[in-house]
A and B are shown apart, each in its own frame.
Chain A
Amino acid sequence: DIQMTQSPYSLSASVGDRVTITCRASQNIKKYVNWYQQKPGKVPKLLIYAASSLQSGAPSRFSGSASGADFTLAISGLQPDDFATYYCQQSYSAPYSFGQGTKVEMK
C-alpha cells in the first residue's frame, strides 16, 4: 500500500504569508496527487488535482508542484478564508490514501 507522509502537522501564519505544505509518497506515484481543503464540520473540497492543476473555482493563490516523490501545496498571500486543514491524497492506485493533514492556524 502507498503511504503519504504529510508535513508539518500544523503551522501558524499571518494573513499575507506564503505557506507551503509537503507530502512524500512511499513509492513512485507519478503525478497522481490531489490536495483538499477542509473546514470544521464541512466535507473536503478539492483544490489541486494531478499534482499541479488548479480545480475550477479555486483561487489562483493556491498552487501545487511535484519533484520525484515529494509534492507541495503552496498558498501565496494567505487569506482569512484559508485557515483550515489541508490533505494530500494519492490517486495512483487503491487502496487510496491520504496524508495526515496540516492545520493552518492564525498566528
Chain B
Amino acid sequence: QVQLQQSGPGLVKPSQTLSLTCAIFGDTVSSNTAAWNWIRQSPSRGLEWLGRTYYRSKWFNEYAEFVRSRITINPDTSKNQFTLQLRSVTPEDTAVYYCVGYDSSTDWFDPWGQGTLVTVSS
C-alpha cells in the first residue's frame, strides 16, 4: 500500500517561497505508471490541481496555467520524494496543500498525503 508523508512549514511570509516535501513509501518516484501531484484546497477556491512530475523514460513536469510562472515540482530520486516550490506567495495562496499520487492504470487521485495548512502572513 502506497503512503505519502508531507513535511514543511505552515507559515510563510508574503513574497517568499513556499516549500513542501512529500516522501513516498511503497512505490518509487521513478515509477513508469505513477505521477506525483500537488493539489491545494481553500474555502474560496475549492480543490485546485497545481501540477505534477512523472517519469516515462525521462522526466516530465506539467503545471496549472494560473501558477505556471511561480511553481516548480521536482523529483528527488535519492530520497524517493518530490518537492513543491511556490514563489512570490500572497495571502491568496493560503490553503491546505496535499501531495497526491495518480496511477495511469487507475486514473484517479490516490493516495493523498495528510495535508499541510500553509498560511501566508507577515
Contact = CB atoms under 8 A, between A and B. Distances in A.
Interface of A: 1, 32, 34, 36, 43-44, 46, 49-50, 87, 89, 91, 94-101
Interface string B43-61: 0001111001000000000
B11 interface: no
A46 B107 contact: no
Q: Which 6 residue pairs of A and B lie closest in terms of their CB atoms, listed nearest first?
A: A43-B112, A98-B47, A91-B107, A96-B49, A95-B64, A34-B108
Contacts of A1: 65
B46 A98 contact: yes
Contacts of A34: 107-109
Nearest to A48: B108
Classify the interface of chain A: helix, strand, loop or mixed: loop
Contacts of B47: 44, 87, 89, 98, 101
B89 to A, nearest CB: 20
B52 A94 contact: yes
